[in-house]
Structure 1
């Protein structure tokens, strides 16, 4: 009951100006990556399915004229936010070391679709977003670093909490919604390791869709196992009680989790953002000398998560889009060669081209405690390129341009520039400006009018 009570309360921190500004930037970023992903393979396939299924047309599908059901909108828009591996990323301290928490904006489509369905005002929707981000961080701290479960597992609880809060559930109904949402949590970590598959783009959306469905059932009086977190027959293997469940409903402390939410300037894994930025800064100096390169050393922070990712052989020599956008060898190579990293760099299986394969084979990965020390809360990188004449060219990036500093949040210029660039091929400039204005005035904007701009 305590967790349910917390999800319904309004913490004073959620109405602070800095958090309101951060929420708006994260909404804009999530909408931008969804618009940019409307032609991605995952988006197309899910779109075909929701067309076949049909449903009560109450909610907007981003990039489509026709509306669909609430549950289908969550699946479709959730897939689009994730399809290009371009949405936000959060880090947290796990067992004393910085690690990847996940991607809170996976649930931004849940908030927006539920708000549209329920007619919730912008101010309440923003509070739900702040709650969802904070809940994400707290639940992730209860999952051991070495866990068989994927971080998206937390969204069974979060998506149910979002719907219940926006629907105005009472305490008992919300508790049952969370209990049933928890039954949809457990997703194995293999979705994000090994031979990466397309389902990594759908994992969160599938969980969230199911969790909102259970919350809707709770709203009709269906009850769930309220002991699901505490009982040994519940989720002890996912959320470890020894890590202190009471932190789930504690007052918000500094910094609020949403203030540590970074955007990705580049369409790839979060831990490679700084490496890509360093590679792009090297591009002007190496673009005409790619054939002279004899060695590439990519040095990253000495952290357990980085060591684990560097050791993944399927990422070193990618064979799919999903593996390529997680590859610490391919990403710097293509960024140095082409001076860009976006969807275009994946379209023609660039990782299989002879010039890029050669650079991949020349790449050596290392870690550095010094980098980790100099960039707390970030995933820094340094790239050193050796040429045939012995010249060594080096670039270092401690904080990429999408980094959110806890005391001041994201750079508005970085978010707006990204949104403008990635949506330009899909929507006219005038509509882009109207979307930005609607998000800037989100507290007073009708959700339906914002969603109409996204069709």
Structure 2
């Protein structure tokens, strides 16, 4: 068999019964976390534009849109994936040469599961498949340093998850993954330089395409089955040679994914937790800061610290702000938090944060880089006008797999993000549905999510 056929066999054989108790709970926690992110994004500018786009184009009303309305499965996958992704508050997976956000696959899997009326158990199995495929391809076949985006591996993961949710046989599953993997090799420029809306929409676009590909394969459309190892395939053209034995893979990689404590790019999490701890332990005013030096692992420096992916001291919009370690550290010090409101235009433009971020320098440290991704190490040195020098060193944060975030903590995050759009009763029902998802159908969860208010006029119950 070709590699994609071996992968298809893994996908088809995956089941709820294959999941450990730890993986089942981890999936539920990440579904609730992702739903909170999605609801909290309903009023985002690109979300409103996409909603208008869907209303103009229309589509067969087969699948639910979070916040109300129905559309075709591939368009529902796009819209709901955009909601999960827009705040940049959803989970992540760290590999040595790649970082991805496996919950980006939830919108696709939900659409396929609702379309095919799958049980909650099938939903969990399909989502676990998508997590496993994306994380393991990130491990063995990173593409970031070759100029490609992590959505490239996602094209295989999303198609695999959708195929499992649709219940496709091994042949159609292989063709679904082959079509999607061939078609969606995205450029890393998405996340370099002056960032745009596309940073948050690149994976939703992949989700749209992968869902479309899987439905085409369901009808009988075929794809290049040598997509991985063939002449000018993924290995030869992009990733280089790698090995993975899908017959030996399990569904446990979700337990190594990490959840964001702060609404900030994933590699910033330990540094933000560290600066807030430092401020609490030895109080100081941001106005008294002369300079802040951040020593951190090389990946963080490259992506958000001003390394190879561009200057991070020029911050003019949300997309630039949540990928600037300097901005995120400065706004954390000033506001004692990093949440969606820290990315409003009026907050980004204020002089206090613009001035403070210029006092922050970031540089990579070799021994920290060697400890990544098993740790997220950093060392913070804050020099104050009164002569004090405060130092804090971190190796992880609450939400990292060494200090995993529990259901109760994620529930509080969900409450915080969703209270503007859902009353207390609906929020309780959504949490309960996720907690006992094995006992319900996928459509039951989507029915609840359709009741979320798109209008921001809802007065939240405390």
Residue pairs, 1:47-66, within 5 angstroms: 47-63=51-67, 65-66=68-69
Between 137-146 and 304-313, the greater mean CA deviation after superposition: 304-313
Q: Aligned partners of 1:106 and 1:134: how far apart in 2? A: 13
Find the counterpart in structure 2 of residue 377 from structure 1. 374
Structure 1 distance, partners of 2:237, 2:439, is 39
Moved more, 333-342 or 286-295: 286-295
Match of 1:139 in 2: 137
Deviates more, 1:66-75 or 1:346-355: 346-355
State the SS of the aligned residue for 2:63: coil
Asked if the contact 1:13–1:19 (Cα under 8 Å) also holds between the matched residues in 2, the reply is no
Give the aligned partner of residue 23 of structure 1. Answer: 27
Cα distance in 1 between the residues matched to 2:26 and 2:127: 11
Alpha-carbon distance in structure 2 between the residues aligned to 1:241 and 1:372: 23
Alignment partners' CA distance in 2, 1:354 and 1:248: 54
| 1:446 match | 441
Q: Distance in 2 between matches of 1:37 and 1:308?
A: 24
Q: Is the 8 A contact 1:157 1:178 kept in 2?
A: yes
- Asked whether the equivalents of residues 180 and 224 of structure 1 are also in contact (C-alpha less than 8 Å), the reply is yes
1:175: how far off? 1.7
Secondary structure of the 2:292 match is strand
Residue aligned with 1:183, SS? helix
CA contact under 8 A between 1:22 and 1:409: conserved in structure 2? no
Asked whether 1:350 is paired with 2:354, we answer no
Instruction: Tell me the residue number matched to 1:200.
Output: 199
Which residues in structure 2 correspond to 1:215-294 (within 5 Å)?
215-236=214-235, 240-244=239-243, 247-252=244-249, 256-284=252-280, 289-294=285-290
Question: Counterparts in 2 of 1:44-443, with a 5 A limit?
Answer: 44-63=48-67, 65-94=68-97, 100-140=98-138, 141-144=140-143, 146-236=145-235, 240-244=239-243, 247-252=244-249, 256-284=252-280, 289-301=285-297, 303-304=298-299, 306-307=301-302, 309-310=304-305, 311=307, 312-369=309-366, 371=368, 377-405=374-402, 409-443=404-438
Task: Tell me, yes or no, if the aligned pair for 1:329 and 1:360 is still in contact at 8 Å.
Answer: yes
Instruction: Tell me the equivalent position of 1:6.
Output: 10
SS of the aligned residue for 2:241 comes to: helix
Do the aligned partners of 1:382 and 1:396 also contact (CA within 8 Å) in 2? yes
Answer yes or no: is the 8 Å Cα contact 2:41–2:86 preserved in 1: yes
Secondary structure at the counterpart of residue 299 of structure 1:
strand
CA distance in 1, matches of 2:176, 2:368: 44
* Alignment of 1:35 onto 2:34: no
Gap change, CA 1:233 and 1:190, over 3 Å in 2 = same
Q: Is the 8 A contact 1:33 1:422 kept in 2?
A: yes
Aligned partners of 1:210 and 1:333: how far apart in 2? 38
Secondary structure in structure 1 of the residue aligned to 2:38: helix
For residue 71 of structure 2, give the secondary structure of its aligned residue in structure 1. coil
State the Cα RMSD in Å: 2.3
Structure 1 residues 347-356 or 124-133, which shifts more?
Answer: 347-356
Cα distance in 1 between the residues matched to 2:260 and 2:367: 24
Is the partner of 1:146 in helix, strand or coil? helix
Asked if the contact 1:283–1:338 (Cα under 8 Å) also holds between the matched residues in 2, the reply is no
Question: In terms of mean alpha carbon deviation, does 100-109 or 25-34 score higher?
Answer: 100-109
Match of 2:453 in 1: none
CA 1:285 to 1:294, structure 2 compared with 1: closer, same or farther past 3 Å?
farther
From the superposition, tell whether residues 205 and 144 of structure 1 become closer, same or farther in structure 2 (CA, over 3 Å): closer
In the alignment, which residue of structure 2 is the partner of 1:97?
none
Secondary structure of the 1:87 match is coil
Q: Name the CA shift for 1:92/1:324 in 2 (closer, same or farther; >3 Å).
A: same
Distance 1:78 1:410, change over 3 A: same
1:339-391 deviation line (CA, Å, top 9, x unaligned): 11111111134333221122112112133455567786232333322211101
Residue 241 (structure 1) shift: 4.8
SS at match of 1:236: helix
Which sits farther off after the overlay, 3-12 or 205-214?
A: 3-12
Structure 1 unaligned segments of length 5 or more: list them: 95-99
Give me the whole-angstrom Cα distance separating, in 2, the residues matched to 1:324 and 1:3.
38
1:144 is displaced (CA, Å) by 4.2
Cα 1:225–1:374, aligned 2, differ >3 Å: closer, same or farther? closer
The answer to whether the 8 A contact 1:287-1:338 is kept is no
> CA separation in 1, counterparts of 2:18 and 2:170?
20
Q: Could you tell me how far 1:202 is from its partner in structure 2?
A: 0.8
Q: 8 Å contact 2:105–2:161 — kept in the other structure?
A: no
The 2-side partners of 1:398 and 1:417 are apart by 24
